[in-house]
Amino acid sequence: MTARLEPGPEQPEGMLPSTVDRPAGERFGHAPTSPLPPESAPLLRWIDARLPVISAFRREYVDYPMPRNLNGLWNFGAFVTVALLVLLLSGIFLAVNYTATIADAFNSVEAIDRQVPSGWLVRSIHMGGVTMFFAALYIHVWRSLYYGSYKAPRELLWLTGMVLMAICMGAAFAGYVLPWGQMSFWGLTVAMRALSSVPLVGTPLAHWLLGGALADVALHRIYVLHFVLAFSTLAVVGLHVMALHVTGSNNPLGVEVRKPADTLPFHPYYTVKDGVGLALFALVFAVLIFFLPGWLTLPDNYLRADPLSTPADITPEWYFAPFYAILRAGGGIGVPLAALSIAVLFVLPWLDRSPVRSARFRPWYRVLLPVAVLSFVFLGVAGFHQPAGLWLLSSRIATAIWLLFFLLGLPLLTRFEPRRALPEGIA
C-alpha cells in the first residue's frame, strides 16, 4: 500500500503555482542580470520562463561587461573560434566524400579536388582554415603570455586553452595523414618512430593506436581520431568560454576592472569590433586560398604514398615546424624535449608567480619574453632545414633559450624583477 502524497498548502491539487510564468530567476530566488525587457514578445518570455536561454544569452553576450581598453590582440579569440567552426563545417562536407582505405584514400581526395562539384573549394577552405586557425591561435597565446592572462584567477581559463591547443594539434596531425600522400605517410612514420622511442609505454601505445602496421586499420583509426578530436573541441571551447565569463577578460594593463565606468557592454562595442576584425581575417583567409594555394600544402603530398620511396626531406606543416626542429635537434632526447617544450606552457601559471600581469609593468619580462618567443619562431624556420652544421647548433641554442626561459627565467624573475607602479584603474 502506497502513501498518498499530500499536496502542499501553496499548491492546491490540480493547479499550477501562480508564479509559473514569472521569470525563472525570480522563482529560484535570484534574478538574471539581464531579464527580458517588458516589451519583448510573449513567446520569448514564455520560453525564457521555462528555459532561460534568452536571458542567459543576453547576460553573457549582450550586456556582458568587457574592459573598455582592449586592443586588437583581443580579437584573436574570436578568430580562432570562427576558424574552428569553418574547419568543422567544411570537414563534414569532405568527410562525406572521403574513403578511409589505403587503396582509395588518395583517389577519393583527388576526386574531391577534381570531380566533386565545388570540392576543390571546400578542400581549399579546409586546408587554408588550418593555417588560419593555428596562426590565430599562436597570436592568441602570445597575447596571453605578454599580458599575463594566465595568472590568478585565470589559471583554469589558461589550462582549458592549453588542452584545446593540444587537442587541435592531434586533430591537425591526424587530418594531414588522411590524403595518404607521400608527406602524410612519411610524416606518420616519423611520428610513430618518435612515439615508439618513448620507454615502456611508447611501443604498446603505437600498437594500440595503429594496430601494428600502417594498413587499412591504421588509416581508419586515424580518420576516427581526426573526427573525435575535432568535434571534442566544441565541449572544451564551451568550458574555455565559461571560465572566461566567470573571471572576465584580462586587459592590456593587467589590472582588474573596478567599477562600471571601466567597462563597456559586449554588444554593440565588441561585437562590431570583432566584426571588423573578422572581415579582415576573412580577407587574409581569402587571399591565401584563392591566390596562394601553393602555400597550403607541400607538392609532395600530391604524390600517392609509397612505402618504398623515402622523400629527400620529410618536412612538417609550418605549425609543427618548431616542435619538429626540437625533435631533431635533441638527438636521443628529442622526443622528451619536444614534449617538455609544450608541457612548460601547461605549468606556466605556477612557474611565473609574479603578481604583476602585464609585461608593460615588468621591465625584464618585457625583454626576455620576446627573446624566448623569437627563439621559438626561429625553431619554426629551422624545422624546414636539415639538422646539420649551423642549423643544428642554432636549433639547440634556441631550444635551450625556450626551455630555460620558462624553467629558470620565470622563477628568477618572480623573485628579482623590479616592478613599475601599477595604475589605479583602467578608465
Partner 1 sequence: MRRAALAVLATIVLPGPLRAEDGGLASVQRGYAVYAQVCSACHSMRSVTYADLSGIGLTPAQVRAVASAVSVPDGMGPNNKPKRRPGRPDDHLPIPFATPEAAARANNGAVPPDMSRLALTLAGGPAEIEAILNGYADPPPGVSVPPGSYYNRAAPGGVIAMPPPLQDGAVTFAGGQTETVPQMAADVAAFLDWAARPHHAERTRIGVGVVLYLGFLAALLFFLKRRIWINAKQRR
For partner 1, the closer of residues 221 and 267 by Cβ is 267
- Among the listed residues 317, 341, 354, 358, the single catalytic one is 317
Contacts of 28 (CB under 8 A, 6+ apart): none
Counting contacts by CB under 8 A, is residue 290 touching partner 1?
Answer: yes
CA 182 to chain centre: 27
The three three-digit cell numbers of residue 248, written as one number: 572576465
For 264, list phi and psi in degrees, rounded to 5: -130, 145
Counting contacts by CB under 8 A, is residue 16 touching partner 1?
Answer: no
Q: Is 151 considered catalytic here?
A: no
How far is Cα 73 from Cα 327, in angstroms, rounded to an integer? 30
Inter-residue contact 184 to 178 (CB < 8 Å): yes
- Among the listed residues 126, 140, 273, 385, the single catalytic one is 273
For partner 1, the closer of residues 74 and 365 by Cβ is 74
For 403, list phi and psi in degrees, rounded to 5: -70, -40
Q: C-beta of 292: minimal distance to partner 1 in Å? A: 10
Query: 272-278 contacts: CB < 8 A, separation 24 or more?
Result: 273/70, 273/75, 274/75, 274/78, 277/72, 277/75, 277/78, 277/79, 278/75, 278/78, 278/79, 278/82
User: Which range, of 43-51, 74-82, 83-91, 103-111, touches partner 1 by CB under 8 A?
Assistant: 103-111
Strand partners, 66: 264
Q: Which of residues 292-321 bind partner 1 (CB under 8 A)?
A: 293, 299-300, 302-304
The three three-digit cell numbers of residue 328, written as one number: 631533431
For partner 1, the closer of residues 112 and 348 by Cβ is 112
CB neighbour class for 153 (10 Å; exposed up to 12, middle 13-18, buried from 19): exposed
Q: Is 274 considered catalytic here?
A: yes
Q: Which of residues 36-55 bind partner 1 (CB under 8 A)?
A: none
Which of 47, 121, 392, 404 touches partner 1 by CB under 8 A? 121
User: Which range, of 117-125, 131-139, 223-231, 403-411, touches partner 1 by CB under 8 A?
Assistant: 117-125
CA dist 217 → 28, 222, 304 (Å): 53, 9, 18
How far is Cα 313 from Cα 241, in angstroms, rounded to an integer? 41
- Among the listed residues 34, 90, 108, 249, the single catalytic one is 249
Counting contacts by CB under 8 A, is residue 72 touching partner 1?
Answer: no
Q: C-beta of 285: minimal distance to partner 1 in Å? A: 9
Counting contacts by CB under 8 A, is residue 111 touching partner 1?
Answer: yes
The three three-digit cell numbers of residue 285, written as one number: 583567409
Q: C-beta of 411: minimal distance to partner 1 in Å? A: 40
In our burial notation (b when 16+ CB lie closer than 10 A, e otherwise), range 384-420 reads: ebebeeebbebbbebbebbbebbeebbeebeeebeee
The three three-digit cell numbers of residue 81, written as one number: 573560434
For partner 1, the closer of residues 280 and 374 by Cβ is 280
For partner 1, the closer of residues 270 and 376 by Cβ is 270
Q: Is 259 considered catalytic here?
A: no
The three three-digit cell numbers of residue 325, written as one number: 626542429
How far is Cα 269 from Cα 279, in angstroms, rounded to an integer? 16
For 254, list phi and psi in degrees, rounded to 5: 70, 10
- Among the listed residues 48, 262, 274, 352, the single catalytic one is 274
Site string (260-289) toward partner 1, x via CB under 8 A: -x--x---xx--xx-xx--xx-xx--xx-x
For partner 1, the closer of residues 293 and 370 by Cβ is 293
Q: Is 249 considered catalytic here?
A: yes
For partner 1, the closer of residues 89 and 242 by Cβ is 89
Q: C-beta of 250: minimal distance to partner 1 in Å? A: 19
3-state secondary structure of 150: coil
Q: Please give the residue ranges that form the binding site for partner 1 (CB under 8 A).
A: 68, 107, 110-111, 113-115, 120-121, 124, 261, 264, 268-269, 272-273, 275-276, 279-280, 282-283, 286-287, 289-291, 293, 299-300, 302-304, 427
Q: Which residues are catalytic?
A: 245, 249, 273-274, 317
